Structure 1
Amino acid sequence: MVVSPTVANVFDAGLPTLTYDVFSTPAQVWPDLHDAQRTAPIAIGPMGPEVLSYEMARAVLRDTRFTIPPGINLAAQGITSGPLFDKVMSTLLCLEGSEHQRLRKLVSKAFTPRATERLHDTIVAVVDELVDNIAGARRCDVVADIARPYPIPIICALLGAPREDWRLFSDWTEDVFRAFSFSTDVATVQDDVMRAWNELDDYVDRMVAHRRRHLTDDLLSDLIRAEDDGDRLSTSELQMLAASLLMAGTDTTRNQLAASVQALSERPDQWALLADRPELAMRAVEETMRHSPVVCGAPRIVLDDVEFDGYLFPAGTFVFVNTFAANRDPAVYADADRLDLTREQAPAILTFGGGVHYCLGANLARRELAEALRILAGRLSNPRRSGSAPWKPMLGMTGPTVLELEFDA
């Protein structure tokens, strides 16, 4: 490509430098991000350019020249081939181009508002049962007692799996998700991951065979029904989508629920406001995901030289779209560091991504989080932290590892 003489190589443009440790938490990194954001829309971080401004981050997420690095967490550990790498690369999380577009088009026909709404009673029942288990003690670890067991029953109900099999799905998810974790030495657990993944595939095979004969009112049946100009999902694609749903919808919901509860409980006025006005539950989701997200960015790579907004990104450049910083951009959000459930007319958060990789399950995640926060605020009065709340590193999936609360009846 011919580079305009007015375009500066992103590495030679005098951009601010971020020197944080890759194992730092969002709270530890934020002061450096905040200072850099006031200087330029991009900073050079430990892994390469980090996009910090809201407008640029949104534009990069929508630009197909910035693609998802293939199998990034496995490649970072030197795993670039083999059965597990092939399995990960076949998921909807890693696909690109026409095949990704084809599958999203079919899957979107099943991810309708109606599909989410029919889970309402299940969601409420699951949250109420979890709160019942800890209400008498007037104390709990939100991570272990509420957030961790919460999403699996919801996803199983979404797929149409019977209640007695929820534990199986939980165990499979724990094992398979290690293939997507930056903090796991994947080479040492590959056999366990593949065993769990194959067991999940076999289970889904049996579900699909049964549903093809007896369609019901669940997501798996909707996916089987989905058709676009005669194109339908194969059994292997249904396997992959079930696994992708478990991977994308379990750990994110667990961690975000704990993070959102922490953000609200540390601000008693906001917790009390939600308890008094439960109609603010969906706004509580948006605001806590803006302020205290557990997914802090989206990795991208440019395969060819890319000119973008006055900068040249050379071919092979790894780019981190720092949505944590973008969601607190003071040019877009007034008093951006403040968590405020009454915030109005705020631009859409970038935590769910953007463009062709915008999260397909965003509406379901919002519904799960909103119902949980609404019920928790209504049933746990005056929550206050009774211990430290350490977080996992910002890169990868973050969130509190422990969140001990005491509360009134």
Structure 2
Amino acid sequence: MTAGVEGESLTNANSTAPSVFDAGLPTFSYDLNATPHDILEDVRNAQSRSPIAIGPLGPEILSYELARDLLRDNRFRLPPGVTLAAQGITSGPLFDKMANSLLGLDGAAHVRLRKLVSKAFTPRATSRLQDTIRDVVNGLIDHVADAGRCDVVTDISYQYPTPIICALLGAPPDDWQMFADWTEEVFKALNFQPDVNFDEAAIMRAWSELDAYVDGMVAARRDNLREDLLSELIRAESDGDRLDLDELRMLVAGFLMAGTDTTRNQLSASVQVLCEHPDQWAKLRDQPELAMQAVEESMRHSPAACIVPRAAADDVEFGGFLFPAGTLVVVNTFAANRDPAIYDDADRFDIARNDVPAILTFGGGAHYCLGANLARRELAEALTVLTRRLPDAHRVGPAPWKPLLGMTGPSTLSIEFTSARVVTASA
């Protein structure tokens, strides 16, 4: 059976479904350094034969419908510390911090935190950032406009999200660089790739400095609440329950990690695919009302997040197969978002697509991205301003991508353009 009911508990002792490992499913392999482009043909071949295949890490869910269902199925959990295991770390203070973060928690503890945070992370809270978002992206373009050329990754995308997240939290501009440095270090704990330079002590130092800073912010807010996310988190209450200081620290770090590197990489990936389709760049330039559709389509076609790991909490029957307890399952959202059974001409990039289902790039179910609305707003505003101010931007030179196991996207993206200087930064 296909499990689509969240939280359903089944006993599979009498299951007649074949084990997912013994069912003759298609297999394919890829190097751990492979990019999404490297695996596309193999994924296509496997996907044409079965909605599930056996990949290098275990079963991979390739169809849109099964991917959506599995992400909503609470019998499959996010493996705690899965990224740290790649670095050989399965216990200790850093592992404990990750396991007790909003990403690492499951069950009742996770539901409680999501309930409280959702009261603070509202569209109203993010809509207040509109002017900040616009000012930041225009300021970055101002720095490169006269040159007629830039590297989108380093000159725009890398510097874009931190000021916005800090403004959301209520951190003063003078401290934004510190947040950028802390985030850069702490985010290494979310890297799927084994790294010989991985320094657990350095990550913990950065995280401790961030925690101490947040403690100061919380102390200052207790008697002087403001119109920012941290104040909203302090205000948040559900049936008399409130967030304590440890939870506030954890959530701030989580927002920085989840809201920084993802936006950086997705903005670069979205700019690249638009640049490589000049008709689409021009369409967005001339029809800025398509900005949100451009975000959805670029995240479907060229996502910065391509896989979601899950593990079977018990023996689970799903999609007609038995997944033994502990089985690591890769939900290949890159494949699902290009499922030809769902999307007409799935490899075509078209920002005017209509009547298509929601992309799976933001995950689904209990761990659906809390910041999805903010991310969409940031990306839509950046793409609108870029296409308007750099009306003929085009890629020059190679744009190699980072591995798909983790956060991917171009590592460099050189573009040339004629700047529309008649458009002011305040427009």
Task: Give the TM-score taking structure 2 as reference length.
Answer: 0.94
Structure 1 residues 222-265: Cα deviation after superposition (integer angstroms, max 9, x where no partner): 00000001000001110000000000000000000000000000
Verify the 8 A CA contact 1:54 1:332 in the aligned structure 2: yes
Provide the rounded CA distance (Å) in 2 between the counterparts of 1:340 and 1:188. 40
Provide the rounded CA distance (Å) in 1 between the counterparts of 2:195 and 2:341. 40
The structural deviation recorded for 1:182 is 2.2
Q: Which amino acid aligns with 2:105?
A: L
Structure 1 residues 108-142: Cα deviation after superposition (integer angstroms, max 9, x where no partner): 00111101110000000000000000000010000
Name the counterpart of 2:271.
261
Name the counterpart of 1:371.
381
Note if 1:62 corresponds to 2:72.
yes
Secondary structure at 1:86's aligned position in 2?
helix
Provide the rounded CA distance (Å) in 2 between the counterparts of 1:5 and 1:372. 51
What pairs with 1:30-45 in structure 2 (closer than 5 Å)?
30-45=40-55
Name the counterpart of 1:406.
416
Provide the rounded CA distance (Å) in 2 between the counterparts of 1:192 and 1:216. 33
Provide the rounded CA distance (Å) in 2 between the counterparts of 1:285 and 1:3. 45
Name the counterpart of 2:27.
17
What pairs with 1:265-284 in structure 2 (closer than 5 Å)?
265-284=275-294
Provide the rounded CA distance (Å) in 2 between the counterparts of 1:162 and 1:131. 22
Match of 1:183 among 193, 204, 207: 193
Name the counterpart of 1:304.
314
Note if 1:131 corresponds to 2:141.
yes
Structure 1 residues 125-163: Cα deviation after superposition (integer angstroms, max 9, x where no partner): 000000000000010000000000000000000000000
Provide the rounded CA distance (Å) in 1 between the counterparts of 2:52 and 2:402. 24
The structural deviation recorded for 1:7 is 1.2
Verify the 8 A CA contact 2:32 2:193 in the aligned structure 1: no
Provide the rounded CA distance (Å) in 2 between the counterparts of 1:259 and 1:237. 33
Q: Which amino acid aligns with 1:20?
A: Y
Note if 1:162 corresponds to 2:172.
yes
Q: 1:187 to 1:146 in 2, by over 3 A?
A: closer
Note if 1:98 corresponds to 2:103.
no
Name the counterpart of 1:120.
130
Secondary structure at 2:393's aligned position in 1?
strand
Verify the 8 A CA contact 1:179 1:186 in the aligned structure 2: no
Note if 1:318 corresponds to 2:338.
no
Percent identity over paired residues: 66
Q: 1:346 to 1:193 in 2, by over 3 A?
A: same
Note if 1:390 corresponds to 2:400.
yes
Name the counterpart of 2:17.
7
Note if 1:197 corresponds to 2:243.
no
Note if 1:218 corresponds to 2:228.
yes
Provide the rounded CA distance (Å) in 1 between the counterparts of 2:153 and 2:418. 19
Name the counterpart of 2:422.
none
Deviates more, 1:2-11 or 1:329-338: 2-11
Verify the 8 A CA contact 1:178 1:186 in the aligned structure 2: no
- How many residues are treated as equivalent by the alignment? 409
Structure 1 residues 65-120: Cα deviation after superposition (integer angstroms, max 9, x where no partner): 00011100112332111111111111111111101000000000011110111000
Deviates more, 1:381-390 or 1:43-52: 381-390
Verify the 8 A CA contact 1:297 1:324 in the aligned structure 2: yes
Provide the rounded CA distance (Å) in 2 between the counterparts of 1:2 and 1:277. 53
Provide the rounded CA distance (Å) in 2 between the counterparts of 1:238 and 1:323. 31
Provide the rounded CA distance (Å) in 2 between the counterparts of 1:318 and 1:363. 29
The structural deviation recorded for 1:183 is 3.0
After superposition, the CA RMSD in angstroms is 1.1
Verify the 8 A CA contact 2:72 2:366 in the aligned structure 1: yes
The structural deviation recorded for 1:303 is 2.5
Verify the 8 A CA contact 2:12 2:315 in the aligned structure 1: no
Q: Which amino acid aligns with 1:116?
A: T
Task: Give the TM-score taking structure 1 as reference length.
Answer: 0.98
Verify the 8 A CA contact 1:178 1:184 in the aligned structure 2: no
Deviates more, 1:54-63 or 1:188-197: 188-197
Verify the 8 A CA contact 2:87 2:198 in the aligned structure 1: no
Secondary structure at 2:21's aligned position in 1?
helix
Name the counterpart of 2:425.
none
Name the counterpart of 1:335.
345
Provide the rounded CA distance (Å) in 1 between the counterparts of 2:233 and 2:79. 28
Provide the rounded CA distance (Å) in 1 between the counterparts of 2:267 and 2:273. 10
Name the counterpart of 1:233.
243
Secondary structure at 2:379's aligned position in 1?
helix
The structural deviation recorded for 1:349 is 0.3
Secondary structure at 1:400's aligned position in 2?
coil
Verify the 8 A CA contact 2:300 2:338 in the aligned structure 1: yes
The structural deviation recorded for 1:186 is 7.3
Structure 1 residues 152-185: Cα deviation after superposition (integer angstroms, max 9, x where no partner): 0000000000001000000000111111112353
Match of 2:391 among 381, 384, 387: 381
Verify the 8 A CA contact 1:3 1:307 in the aligned structure 2: no
Name the counterpart of 1:247.
257
Name the counterpart of 1:27.
37
Q: 1:163 to 1:38 in 2, by over 3 A?
A: same
Runs of 4 or more, structure 1, over 3 Å off, are 1-6
Name the counterpart of 1:143.
153
Secondary structure at 1:11's aligned position in 2?
coil
Name the counterpart of 2:7.
none
What pairs with 1:70-109 in structure 2 (closer than 5 Å)?
70-109=80-119
Q: 1:237 to 1:2 in 2, by over 3 A?
A: closer
